[in-house]
Amino acid sequence: MSAPPPAPTPTPARTAGPPAGPSREPYAPGELPPGPRAPAAVQTVAFHRDPLGTLQRARDRYGDLVTVRLLLAGTLVECCDPQDARRVLDADPGTGQAGRARQGLLGMVSERSVLGGDGAAHREARARVAAAFVPAALEGLAPRVAALAAEHAASWPTGRPTRLLPRVRALCDDVFVRLVLGVEDPGRARALAGAVQRMLWTPGNPPTPVPGQQAGPLVQAAARAAFAQRSAAARRLLADEVRARRAAGRAGGGAVGALLADDALGVGDAVDQLLPLTMAGQEPPAAGLAWVLERSSRLPALDAGLRGSAPGGAWWRAAVSEVLRVRPPVHTAARVLVRDLPLASRTLPAGVVAAAPIVLLHRDPRAWEAPEEVRPERFLRDGRHVVDEVPAAAYLPFGGGARRCLGEPLTWLLADAALPAVLARIRVAPALARAERQVVRGTVLVPHRGALSVLHPA
């Protein structure tokens, strides 16, 4: 099939949010914007079952600054105006701390890691592994990623209902362990990929949330003990990889090799930094790929366009970008404010956890025309894939500011190499009549039935 014809020039999006200007007086100490009055447990269940609908209703009732209270993540101020959200994410580290916010939401990430660190700790952790995630380091892996994807897709069952999400997660685990971490020993790579899957599995529908640091001490203690038990195998295998490379007198390749270039880094410290990296390295990309397959199964034009266009080309990337808009893998980016932050209408005081609700911003009608529709042409200009000409304040699939996602190039590697290898072998048909809603799993948004589908040979 030939590539789809060039899309027409899209209608410019409406201006997102009010123009920047002097803020009004700050909230008084202890005062927060209005928000739902339901108990935190009720708000938590509602948010995890339907994050988009819950936030839309709260914004419509209370305005662009909404205080929500979640049982395990604590109190957050949702900044629903796109320009305000951008101010939160662009705040310098001396004003807003992303590591503390992530620890508050997840509670299981080390403050010495890329995810959980702030200031010098974050800069040092990021600098150690950044070389493994730049496009130049990842582009050469494309043939091996495609081969692994083809191997996985060939084993997926056809002709009966199956959940796509866990199968795509297993694929992303394999890619991350073998190619991104650079684990060459086949036995250890296989065992580590399996250990990561078991470590991150959560029961329930929607999945049981991970307690953040705002949870009570008993809940925190129980959660930490459970996570220590479930992560023990992954920690042991990562430590074995580090010791094996050190014993061989070589740092080796991948993110492990980049980390071990620091000779002073102990085994325990290395594992503390590798474990959160491994968690973040497969969860959002796996959710993103699963959503692309789920959306294409329900939208024939999207499926035909992906199958008829060049992987990695302008239309292909525009289509993936648009799916990441309507089904973002991550629901929120947050900062703990250590200084007052002026916004368009009020100033948020230090101590507040300010959140950019990505899942809501991606559907904001002030920024997107017909936001519910899937229109890849939003990301096309003169036959080019662009993201810098869309409403940047309302498009945040990889976050923003100094903490923009380190794994963004990895997501595009998987989209350009793994996705076409899967589509070359299977066709996806939805197993359910109604589209699956987004539910919360940690900070990730996943299909509430795991993208239940029936697969057929391509």
For residue 268, which of 130, 106, 99, 110 has the smallest C-alpha distance? 110
> Strand order in 65-70's β-sheet?
65-70, 74-79, 353-356, 333-337, 96-97
| Rounded Cα distance, 29 and 18, in Å | 26
CA separation, residue 33 to residues 63, 76, 81, 91, 321 (Å): 9, 10, 14, 20, 33
For residue 430, the Cα-to-chain-centroid distance in whole angstroms is: 24
CA separation, residue 97 to residues 88, 116, 120, 124 (Å): 10, 10, 12, 15
Residue 172 marked as a ligand binder: no
For the chain, report the end-to-end CA distance as a whole number of angstroms: 13
Q: Could you give phi then psi for residue 158, rounded to 5 degrees?
A: -120, 155
| Rounded Cα distance, 446 and 439, in Å | 6
Q: Could you give phi then psi for residue 353, rounded to 5 degrees?
A: -95, 105
For residue 202, the Cα-to-chain-centroid distance in whole angstroms is: 17
| Rounded Cα distance, 278 and 128, in Å | 15
User: Two tokens at 395?
Assistant: 């498009």
Which residue type, as a one-letter code, is found at position 333?
A
Q: Could you give phi then psi for residue 373, rounded to 5 degrees?
A: -85, 145
| Rounded Cα distance, 211 and 435, in Å | 29
| Rounded Cα distance, 65 and 84, in Å | 9
Q: Could you give phi then psi for residue 429, rounded to 5 degrees?
A: -120, 135
Radius of gyration of the chain from its Cα atoms, rounded to whole angstroms: 22
Phi-psi region of 280 (alpha: psi -120 to 50; beta: other; left: phi over 0): alpha
Q: Could you give phi then psi for residue 124, rounded to 5 degrees?
A: -70, -45
Binding residues for heme: 405
Binding site as annotated, residues: 405
